[in-house]
């Protein structure tokens, strides 16, 4: 039904210190990856439909860490990755449902976007998928430790 139930959920801390740059315990991340990989709606995904997939994360509902030249970035990615399918994950008007979001990140062959909460969905990405994360000078290490 799209919902997972748990007594305890271990997830990377959402704070400036990122658990002193340690991040979440590795067993928690590994178990979340395993649970996602065996979920029926994820495990049966056809990863490739002919072309590789670049997932671009777009933040529109906030001015914090928003890529102001998103259209230019998108154009450049399309120009450089001509044979790839370009998919945009956006928080506007609302982010996609959890399952659709997880499927988008799972299908991606590269993920590009600004540092922020949208990268918590990296837990759904396949191991080894390259990540290009736009960062400001001062930022939390949470997503670097998660990926």
* Alpha carbon distances (Å) from 19 to 11, 30, 114, 133: 11, 18, 21, 20
Instruction: Please give the model's pTM, rounded to 2 decimal places.
Output: 0.70
Q: What pLDDT is recorded for position 35?
A: 76
- CA-CA distance, 23 to 18, in Å (whole number)? 6
Contacts of 57 (CB under 8 A, 6+ apart): 89, 90, 111, 112, 113, 114, 116, 118, 119
Residue 55 pLDDT greater than 90, yes or no: yes
Compare 88 and 145 and report the one with higher pLDDT: 88
Q: How confident is the model at residue 34 (pLDDT cuts 50, 70, 90)?
A: confident
pLDDT at 9: 54
- Which comes out higher in pLDDT, residue 62 or 97? 97
- CA dihedral sign of residues 118, 79, 87, 103: negative
Residue 74 pLDDT > 70: yes
Average pLDDT, the chain: 75
Q: Please list, in sequence order, all residues whose beta carbon lies within 8 angstroms of the beta carbon of residue 134, skipping any fewer than 6 positions away.
A: 65, 67, 113, 114, 115
């Amino acid at each position: 039904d799209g919902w997972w139930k748990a007594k305890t959920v271990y997830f990377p801390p959402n704070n400036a210190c990122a658990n002193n740059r340690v991040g979440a315990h590795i067993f928690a991340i590994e178990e979340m990856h395993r649970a996602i990989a065996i979920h029926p709606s994820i495990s049966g995904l056809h990863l490739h439909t002919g072309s590789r997939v670049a997932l671009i994360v777009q933040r529109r509902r906030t001015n914090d860490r928003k890529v102001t030249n998103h259209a230019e970035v998108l154009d450049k990615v399309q120009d450089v990755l001509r044979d790839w399918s370009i998919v945009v994950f956006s928080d506007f008007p609302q982010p996609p449902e959890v399952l659709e979001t997880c499927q988008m990140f799972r299908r991606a062959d590269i993920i590009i976007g600004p540092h922020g909460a949208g990268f918590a969905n990296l837990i759904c990405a396949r191991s080894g998928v390259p990540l290009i994360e736009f960062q400001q000078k001062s930022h939390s290490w949470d997503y670097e430790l998660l990926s």
